[in-house]
Amino acid sequence: MNSDLTALQQIPGIIRMEEYDREALGERLLEMTHAVYPHDDVYGPYCTIQEYIDCPPEEVFEYMANPYSLLEWTYSVRSLEQTDQPGLLRGVDSGDSPIYCKVEANRQALTVDYHCAWDQGDELWMIYLNRIVPAELVLKKRGSVVIWTNCRHPYYDANPFPELVPKADRPWVGEWWPLFFAGHTVEMSNLKAILEYRHRKGLPLGPILEGASNLPEVRR
């Protein structure tokens, strides 16, 4: 069974072998390929990083799906505490900004998404999408590949809740967007270092926190 070519021909902009032979496709690909790319072309609407971690996928999932792991491997998320809303935690981010966070995790799909926002927890618009891939499938070796993507939500460009700003001179999180790739790479390196160190030494992966026995059960 093949697709309906007549129906597809009505849609402009589609590139398929029926309209483009290999030579024409090669010319099109060369037009799209450049030696140098402007920063905004690479990191404009999306920011994706990826890393290999020598730790089993199921264990990486368990660690990342626990929101308190953010206290260890992120650069600045600290002091997370459970709010009155189930699954929603409140903490502080860089510059003592209030940050709210909720984890949406799927064990079968090995996805862990952090839904976050500064200043308020009603609209969690800063969404960090993470997929954990068994490295055996894609690299033919043990361990995991973690793929982390952020989308440039319009709120990065302008704070939608200026009345909630704790300090008048606080920079807005969106001002850091041009540095997201570099900043997230630093945090991904933290994640890799923590997981590989503990897995290699046979230690509990954690997170290892003071007073952990008093923390509420994490629901996912």
pTM for this model (two decimals): 0.87
Nearest to 148 by CA among 72, 53, 58, 68: 53
Please determine, for residue 217, whether its predicted confidence score (pLDDT) is greater than 70.
no
Nearest to 72 by CA among 204, 185, 207: 207
Q: Which helix (H) or strand (E) holds 149?
A: strand 144-151
Domains and their CATH numbers in the chain = 39-77+106-114+122-162+172-209 (3.30.530.20)
Structure confidence by residue, pLDDT tens digits, 19-38 = 878 888 888 888 888 887 78
Instruction: Give the model's confidence band at 212: pLDDT under 50 very low, under 70 low, under 90 confident, else very high.
Output: low
Please spell the DSSP secondary structure of 35-103, one letter per residue: SS--HHHHHSSEEEEEEEESS-HHHHHHHHHSGGGHHHHSSS-EEEEE-SSTT-EEEEEGGGEEEEEEE
Higher pLDDT, 18 or 107: 107
Structure confidence by residue, pLDDT tens digits, 58-104 = 999 999 999 999 999 999 999 999 999 999 999 999 878 999 999 99
DSSP lists the bridge partners of residue 113 as: 104, 129
- Terminal Cα distance for the chain, rounded: 41
Tokens 């160190």, residue? 197
Q: How far is residue 83's CA from residue 9's CA, in Å, rounded to a whole number?
A: 54
At 68, the amino acid letter reads Y
